Amino acid sequence: MTSACNLSCAMCLVSYRPRIDRATGAFPMELFRRLLDELPDLTRLTLQGLGEPLLQPHLMEMVGVATARGIEVGFNSNAMLLTRARSEQLVALGLGWLHVSLDGATAATHEGIRAGADFARITRNLRGLIEARQAAGSAKPWVRVVFVAMRRNVHELPLLVRRLGEWGVDELRVQGLSHDFDDTDPSGNYAGIRAFAATESLGSMDPAEVAAVFAAARTAAAECAVSLRLPTPDATPSPRRPGHPGCSWPWDAAYVTSRGTVQPCCMVMGDDRVSLGSLEDDDLATIWHGEAYQAFRAALLTDQPPEVCRGCSLYRGTF
C-alpha cells in the first residue's frame, strides 16, 4: 500500500534504505481499482507494503471500495496513527482484521526496537480500537497483536499476554525474524540486517530458555483467554516429498509493491530482490501465468529453491 513509514525498526528493511516520503511511496488509487476489476473473484485482500498503511492517503477509500465488493480486507499497523476517529471509521467500513505490531510489554523494550514509537500512545490507540468495535456492537475487525520474538525481547512475552488479556485483544501471534538475508551480498546493502538477524534470531538462543518462556506464555494465555500462536524456532525442516513445495504462496496469492512490481510474497522485502513482472507492462493474469512465475514455482518444487526463499523462515518452517 505504501513504502513510506513513520518508524525505523531494527529488524526491518525500511531501516536500511533511504527514507521514502508519503507521496512517492503510495500505491496509486487508479491502479488499485484496476486490480480489483481484474480480480472479480477476489475474496481476501491485505493492504500492506513495506511501510505503514495509515500513511496511505487513500487507505479509507481503498477499504471501502474493497469491502463494498464483498472482499475481506485487513492490514498490519504500528498503530501510531490509529486515532479513535480512524478506528471508528474502519469499524464502520467493515474492516475484517487489523494486526498491531507490539514487540514488548514495556515502553523501554518496544521503543528500543522500533525507533520513533511511543508505547503509551500505541497501547492507548489499540484499546481505543477495541472500544470502538464494542461501541458499534461489531465482531470486526478481528484484533491481533503481532510480536516479533528475538533475543532482546522474548523474555517479556508472558507479561505481554496478560496485558493483552486485560485490553480485550483477540489474539497474539508470535513470529520469528522473517528472513536471514543469507542470499544477499555480505558486504552489500543488506549487510546491516544480515548481522542483526544473525545475533537476534531465536535460533541463536538456548532452546531450553526459549521453551521456558513459551511455556509461561501458554499458561498466561490459558488464564487470560487470549488466543496464542507461537513459532517453532528450533524446528528442523523436514524433507519434502518430490514435487511438493516448502511454501504454497506463489500458487495461492501475489504481492504487488507500491511501484506495481509483482513478487511471490511479502517475505521477499525489497523490489530489487525478485520481480515476476510489472503492472506497468502487463495485467496481473498475464504475469501470473507468465514464464517468470512458472519458472519460480518450478524451482520451488525442487531441492534447489529460488535463492530468495532459502533464508526465509516461512519456507524453513520456523516462522
For the chain, give every domain's residue range. Answer: 8-229, 248-309
Residue 315: band (very low, low, confident or very high) from pLDDT cuts 50, 70, 90: confident
**Long-range contacts, stretch 187-194, CB < 8 angstroms, 24+ apart:** 189/16, 189/17, 190/13, 190/16, 192/15, 192/16, 193/11, 193/12, 193/13, 193/15, 193/16
> Can you tell me the distance from the alpha carbon of 75 to that of 222, in angstroms, rounded to the nearest whole number?
27
Residue 100's DSSP bridge partners are 77, 145
8-229 homologous superfamily: Aldolase class I (3.20.20.70)
pLDDT of residue 246: 75
Report pLDDT digits (tens) over 77-99: 999 999 999 999 999 999 999 99
- Sign, CA dihedral 279-284-285-288, equals positive
- Summarised one tens digit per residue, pLDDT across range 250-301 is 999 999 998 899 999 988 877 778 999 999 999 999 999 999 999 999 999 9
Measured over the CA atoms of residue 300, residue 304, residue 308 and residue 309, the dihedral's sign is: positive
Q: What is the pLDDT of residue 197?
A: 85
Q: What is the rounded average pLDDT of the residues 122-137?
A: 98
Q: Has residue 200 got a pLDDT over 90?
A: yes
Instruction: Report the candidate in 191, 201, 190, 203 with the shortest Cα–Cα distance to residue 268.
Output: 190
Indicate the DSSP class of residue 28: P
| Cell numbers representing residue 190 in the block | 543488506
